Amino acid sequence: MPLKKLVTEKLKNNFNESILDVSDFRNDLSITVASNKILDIAKFLKEDPELEFVMCKDVTAIDWATRKNRFTVVYHVYSFKYNFTLRLKCNITDEPPKIDTVSLVWPSANWYERETYDMYGIVFINHPDLRRMYMPEGFQYHPLRKEFPVLGIPGSLPLPEKI
């Protein structure tokens, strides 16, 4: 069975109603899953002996600005066994946005999720250390949200006093 079909079939057999969309654009397999099932799906992808997606290469998010479910969290996971990268997407329905952490499955997701929290304000539930990654502690905003101005909000970041 071709690899992409194997991955898709296995996920569909185990999480039928949670697999919302499968696309194979430009040879990138991308699977949209329900956000409340992400932890189970992550565990399955990692631990299934036929798949072994043992590495999480990236976690990031998309701000769709005007859509109803505004945020999509995107995961890239990798299987050394097949030299294959799978993209997972979760449309977040909660407001304020939140989703289960996958850092308990893939420890590398710890900092990726911190970055995503810093930039988009998406809360990762049960994350062991959800602090900001880039911006100073105490910063009020999330810079990669679409409503955030490119030059920032005057006075929101402290500077030392002028001499």
Kindly state the smallest distance separating residue 159's Cβ from another protein, in Å. 5
Q: State the DSSP string of 76-87.
A: EEEETTTTEEEE
Smaller CB separation from another protein, 41 or 119: 119
Half-sphere exposure of residue 116: CA atoms within 13 angstroms, side-chain side: 28
Other CB atoms within 10 Å distance of the CB of residue 140: 8
What residues make contact with another protein under the rule CB under 8 A?
134-136, 143, 148-153, 157-163
Smaller CB separation from another protein, 128 or 152: 152
Q: What is the biggest distance separating any 2 CA atoms in the chain, rounded to whole angstroms?
A: 70
Give the C-alpha separation, 3 to 79, whole Å: 11
Kindly state the smallest distance separating residue 136's Cβ from another protein, in Å. 6
Cβ atoms of 78 and 138 closer than 8 Å: no
Kindly state the smallest distance separating residue 138's Cβ from another protein, in Å. 12
Smaller CB separation from another protein, 44 or 148: 148
Smaller CB separation from another protein, 23 or 156: 156
Kindly state the smallest distance separating residue 163's Cβ from another protein, in Å. 5
Give the C-alpha separation, 86 to 76, whole Å: 6
